[in-house]
Structures are given as C-alpha cells and as structure tokens.
Amino acid sequence: MTVDDTESGVHRRFDLLQGEWVLVSPHRDRRPWQGQVEVPEPLLSTHDPDCHLCPGNRRANGARNPDYAGVFVFDNDFPALLDGAPEVSAAAGMFRSEPVRGRCRVLCYSPRHDQSLARLGESGLSAVVAAWQRETIDLGARWRWVQCFENRGASMGCSSPHPHGQIWTMDALPTLVRREREQQRQYLDEWGRGLLLDVVAAEAEAGTRVVIDDRDWLVVVPYWARWPFETLILPRRPMPGLAWMGDAEAASLAGVLGDLFRAYDNLFRCAFPYSFGWHGLPGARQSDVAGWQLHGHCYPPLLRSAGIRKFMVGFEMLAEAQRDITPETAAARLRAARGPHWQTTTDTR
C-alpha cells in the first residue's frame, strides 16, 4: 500500500505513544445512521443563580464561592482521590491491589457562566495557562503525577456547563502515562532523540495533518488518531512539562489554544464537546525526565455533525481502536474552520 492509498483504503496505523494499532476505515463515513443523535446544548446566560461554580453562589457542600473576577481554584467537594483517608492494605498474588492517595482541584476559567476556552480571549486564556503552571508546580512538589484536564459538554460527562477544568494528583504514575513514558524512553534508547520532537519535525515537513503551525507550538491530528477530530498539541523545543515553559511560550500557547478551540466550535457551529488535558512532568523528578516531552491531548467525540458522535464500543472495546475519516481529512477540515468564533461573526462557513 502506498501513502496515497491510505486516504481511501482500509489500513492500520501504529500509535507511537501507546504502542498500539488503530484500524482506519475511510469508506465507513458514508454509512447510513439511525442511531443516537446528540441534542445541542442551550445558550447560556452570563450568570446562573443555580450554578455551583458561579461567583457568589453556594456550592453543593454549603461553601460559598467568592466574588472572583478571574480564575478561581479550589479543592473538589467530591474528590475521586483522597489525602489523609485511612490507608487500604496492599494485596499480592493473583488479585493485586495497592493504596493510593491524591488530591483533586477545580479550576474555574472565568466568572462568566457562558464562556469557554474558545471564547475567553488571549488575556483570559493566558490566566488559565498561568494557573496550570502554578498549580502544577505547587502540587508537583509533593505528588508523583499532576493531571490538568477538562471535560466539556454533557456528552463527555461534564456535570456543570460553567467553564472549568480539573486538576487531579496521585502518588502513583497512571497506566496510560506509564505506557507513554515507556514508549518515549524506548525511542530515546534506540534513536538517541526525543520521540515527540521527531514527530514535530516529521509532521511539520509533511504538513497534511497540521492544524496550527506556530512559532513555539505545533497542533496536529496525529497520524494514529483514534477519535475523528483528535488533536495533539506539541512544543517545538525540548520541554518536559509546563514548569519548563517560558513567558513567551506561555503567551503563544494562549493564542494557539484559542485558535484551536474556536476551530472546533466552528466546525459544526456548536459548543464542541471534548476531553482535553496535559501530559507533562509535574516537577523536578529527574528520573522521569529522560525522553519525556510535554504534550496536550484533545479527544472530541463528534463525527459527522453536532448531532452524530463516534462511539468507542464493540470492536473498539474488544479488539482495537477504529476510526472512519482519515486524520488527513480531519486536519484539513479543522484548518478550514479556523477564524473568529461562529457566534461572534456573520461568516456562514
């Protein structure tokens, strides 16, 4: 099979970060659909008196939010990980277990209930980037792993439409992160170079999967993408984590993120759902630095329209990941969707 054949022929692609194969079936995008149709989320007001995250409102645990004017960070009222709880005993043998501790934080991006990363503007996005850096550095001084992430939209399990993300910490290295560390270390041992730095060079040269080509950052639909419009956010220079990012790179990242998330919203003229997060070293753990490169993953589920999503079920759960449209097609569509947010322009794209 030639490179050109992969635009139309069924084939598999190898995921360098996870060490797994992905089945690509471009012709399936034309199949009829009578399955679940997503309901577009309603327009939001600037403040919702019933929202647990709006300034001045009372949260579910009874605490009252301050009248914050920028970003607001607090400990999650219902954390998935606990620090200081009674420790569970480890179990060996066939059925293994081990204790785990952690801390969960909530990061509100804006006091406005109707905002999002796509609509914050560069100053608002810069404040979010600074909060990611600050929280990562502070929490990374104690915890082995710090995970900054956001679930946007009810279809991605988000319990509140207020613009916010989360920061979870663990005293262990999570499964997917451990796999990425192994793949990056193996590549470094074999080739003497960083895996994701080589990916940046190869993707920039090819161009077909590039969505945003910035001085400091490259955004691509990765060659091995599982989700239809999945993207990978990559720094152009060696950068193990958010703590290693300079002021100029943080400023350019704010612009890149706004550009990317506007393109998502513009693609189907909706509040595009996704799970997005950073994989970066939390602190100065030198034993983990070798080969590791900061990167952001964005996994949006929509496939054909605002109402039709991709489901990871059946073959995907029992065999291996499968996608319909090729990453090259997805990147071209995202490039075409870049520009002002569809809700603030008369552009009919």
Render pLDDT for 195-222 as a digit per residue (tens, 0 to 9).
Answer: 999 999 999 999 999 999 999 999 999 9
Q: Does pLDDT of 348 surpass 70?
A: no
Nearest-angstrom CA–CA distance, 144 and 103: 11
Beta carbons within 10 angstroms of residue 240's beta carbon: 22
Q: What is the CATH number of the domain that holds 277?
A: 3.30.428.10
Considering only residues 282 and 140, tell me which one the structure prediction assigns the higher pLDDT.
140
Q: Is 282 within a domain? A: yes
For residue 90, is pLDDT > 90? no
The beta strand positions in 113-226, using DSSP E, are: 145-152, 164-170, 210-213, 217-220
Predicted local distance difference test score (pLDDT) of residue 60: 85
Q: Under a CB-based contact definition with an 8 Å cutoff, are residues 185 and 291 in contact? A: yes
Cα angle 148-150-153, degrees, rounded to a multiple of 5: 175
33 pLDDT above the threshold of 70: no
Mean pLDDT of 34-55: 76
Which of 127, 172, 176 has its CA nearest to residue 146? Answer: 172
Residue 164 appears among annotated catalytic residues: yes
Instruction: State residue 286's pLDDT score.
Output: 57
User: Residue 106 falls within a domain, yes or no?
Assistant: yes
Residue type, 72: F
pLDDT at position 187 over 80: yes
Q: pLDDT at position 197, please?
A: 97
Query: Would you say residue 34 has pLDDT above 70?
Result: no
- Predicted confidence (pLDDT) at residue 42 exceeds the cutoff of 70: no
Position 238 in a domain: yes
Please give the pLDDT value at position 158.
83
In the prediction, which pLDDT does 28 show?
67
Report yes or no on 8 lying in a domain: no
Helix axes 247-268 and 327-336, enclosed angle (nearest 10): 100
Structure tokens at 38: 């997503």
Catalytic residue among 113, 162, 164, 295: 164
Q: Is 141 inside a domain boundary?
A: yes
Non-local CB neighbours of 30 within 8 Å, separated by 6+ positions: none
Q: Which of 110-114, 158-162, 191-195 has the lowest mean pLDDT?
A: 158-162
Q: Is residue 67 part of a domain?
A: yes
Tally of structural domains, the chain: 1
Mean of per-residue pLDDT scores for the chain? 89
Q: Is the pLDDT of residue 27 over 50?
A: yes
Task: Find the domain containing 198 and state its range.
Answer: 14-26+45-84+98-344
Percent above pLDDT 70 for the chain:
90
Total-model pTM: 0.91
Residue reference for tokens 């984590």:
241
What per-residue confidence (pLDDT) applies to 154? 81
Instruction: Classify residue 38: in a domain, yes or no.
Output: no
* Residue 3 pLDDT level (bands cut at 50, 70, 90): very low
Residue 236 inside a domain? The answer is: yes
